Amino acid sequence: MGTTELTPRQQDVYTFVQRYVENNGYPPTLQEIAHGLGIQPNAARTHLLLMEKKRAVRYVPGISRGIELLLRRPAGIPIYGTAPAGHPFLSQENIVDTFEVRKYLTASDDIFGVYVRGDSMKGAELATGDLLFVDPKREPRNGEIVVASVEGQPTIKRFYRENGPIILRPENKKYKPIVVNQSDDNFRILGVVVGMIRALDKRKIDALTEEHRSHSRALRSKGPGQPAW
């Protein structure tokens, strides 16, 4: 089942617990849920019991923080690297990582990630290691940053269309614009950049995620009576 099968208030409870776990590494108490949602602790308990019947959570009354979320989390988006010889850029063989982008922005099902390499877009403050989120369903507008495939190689540039030809313009005077025609067989717009996480920010996020995982493992190792999440 999904959260669409929960009532609106139950969805609120589920989302509150989910975000609390993401931020703290362990589930909230009934009092914390009640305070966060402006309801009574008994109401929070009733919602959890009903959600347990729907198999959305596992709730152990009488145990502080005895809540486990059971609904499947969305899979992480694929992040693509440099295309190996003989394979297109957006191929399974070219997936180098995944990222749970839905924690940080609303994403379409087809959104993918790509790491910045090189300095051709330094004027747009894009640096090597930055992670870009790319929407392949969005139609590019003049001035937007896109990921394109030219002669089988991925490139990140600003998109412009002027009287027919498409211009992929870098943000560094060391590089020349790429001029192509939409009909060229060796050219394809892969998607429009809709978000990003800088390399330093991603390292911080990865470190916090690992810290939360370590904390959860330590709590589980204490034996019976501790909730699993």
* Active-site residue, selected from the candidate residues 54, 108, 157, 204: 157
Tally of CB atoms within 10 A around 145: 21
Query: What pairing do the DSSP bridges indicate for beta strands 77-80 and 112-115?
Result: parallel
Q: What is d(CA 197, CA 73) in angstroms, rounded to the nearest whole number?
A: 21
What type of residue sits at position 223?
Answer: G
Q: Residues of 75-113 as b/e, b for ≥16 C-beta within 10 angstroms?
A: eebbbbeebeeeeebbeeebeeeebebeeeeebeeebbb
Q: Does the active-site annotation cover 183?
A: no
What type of residue sits at position 6?
Answer: L
What type of residue sits at position 43?
Answer: A
* Active-site residue, selected from the candidate residues 54, 91, 103, 120: 120
Q: Does the active-site annotation cover 137?
A: no
Cα 174 from chain centre: 33
Q: Which residues are catalytic?
A: 120, 157
